[in-house]
Structure 1
Amino acid sequence: MKVAIFFGSKSDTDIMKGAAKALKEFGIEYKAFILSAHRVPEKLIETLKYIEENGYEVIIAGAGLAAHLPGVIASHSVLPVIGVPINAALDGADSLYSIVQMPKSIPVATVGINNSYNAGILAVEILGVKYKNIQEKILEFRKDMKKKFIEENEDVSL
């Protein structure tokens, strides 16, 4: 089980590290690619063929400004694509709208602006449908999350 992480610019690296962090927490193999849908479209298509031929099952794609990368990827692949809008202009609202408003029949799941960690968690949940051991890890993760939240918020004093 493998996840591909795409983003269009080296400047997006810090934002997209959240996806890698989430995948590492669950022991999911991943590989990151910096490719632009506009600057190197041929290389993007070539790389999509590579990931499909090499057992990748989910794609995470971060993009800012026009934010075409997730949609272009979805138009060339039948693997599930999770879009991460990156705040590059207009507080990221332009990226969010570009990713979430895909045309009918070419969906891109979309997480919050700059929230690549949630994209990683969503990728893990998608994999959990097929891999029961991953689903069990997700259930344990949620159980631990709830326990920590309760412990951290038991003693509230104002």
Structure 2
Amino acid sequence: MKAVIIYASPTDKSFVTKITKELYRFRIDYIEHVASAHKVPEKIIDLIEKYNQSEEQICFITVAGRSNALSGLVSANTIFPVIACPPLETKEDFMVNINSSLMMPSETPVATIVDPANAAYFVAKMFGLIDNEMKDRVIKAIGDMKKKF
């Protein structure tokens, strides 16, 4: 099981770190790639074709703001689920750019999760459907959260 994180710009690295921190907590392997759908779509297609041949269970997490072509490009070409986690840092940025992650073309499903930690948590819950050790980690995380209240 692996999370494949593709982010559109090196400037998104600090946002991606918020995702990887949570993936680490759940002991989910991950790999990061920097590739813009607008500038190097061929690189993304090559990556997707490689991962589509994998026997491993994969979930893509895409990190792109503004006009998010990345998430749709990945979803339209992969057999694996895609989570868009746009790096929207301000209310203004959110209001202007969230629709590019929410509105995807037909037959191009992308789940949008705005909070980076929740995106990773969602991956853990998905992998928990097929892996009992991951399921146990999710159960523990839920229990730990409930103890706070």
State whether TM-score is above 0.5.
yes
Residues 72, 94 of structure 1: CA spacing in aligned structure 2 closer, same or farther, 3 A cutoff?
A: farther
1:2-151 superposed matches below 5 A? 2-54=2-54, 55-87=56-88, 90-112=92-114, 115-147=115-147, 149-150=148-149
Letter of the 2:132 counterpart: K
Deviation at 1:87, TM superposition (A): 2.1
The alignment's TM-score, normalised by the length of structure 1, stands at 0.87
The alignment's TM-score, normalised by the length of structure 2, stands at 0.91
Deviation at 1:78, TM superposition (A): 1.9
Identity %: 29
State the secondary structure of the residue aligned to 2:84: strand
State the secondary structure of the residue aligned to 2:6: strand
Inter-partner Cα distance in structure 2 for 1:88 and 1:72: 23
Deviation at 1:95, TM superposition (A): 3.0
User: What are the ranges of 5 or more consecutive residues in structure 2 without an aligned counterpart?
Assistant: none
Calculate the aligned-residue CA RMSD, in Å: 1.5
State the secondary structure of the residue aligned to 1:43: helix
- The CA deviation string for residues 1-41 of structure 1, in whole angstroms up to 9 with x for no partner, is 11100100000011111111111111111000000101011
Residues 94, 51 of structure 1: CA spacing in aligned structure 2 closer, same or farther, 3 A cutoff?
A: farther
Inter-partner Cα distance in structure 2 for 1:146 and 1:76: 39
Residues 11, 50 of structure 1: CA spacing in aligned structure 2 closer, same or farther, 3 A cutoff?
A: same
State the secondary structure of the residue aligned to 2:108: coil
1:71 and 1:102 in contact (8 A); partners too: yes
Larger-gyration structure (1/2): 1
Deviation at 1:93, TM superposition (A): 2.8
1:87 and 1:93 in contact (8 A); partners too: no
Give aligned pairs, total: 147
Inter-partner Cα distance in structure 1 for 2:17 and 2:117: 8
User: What are the ranges of 5 or more consecutive residues in structure 1 without an aligned counterpart?
Assistant: 151-158
Deviation at 1:61, TM superposition (A): 0.3
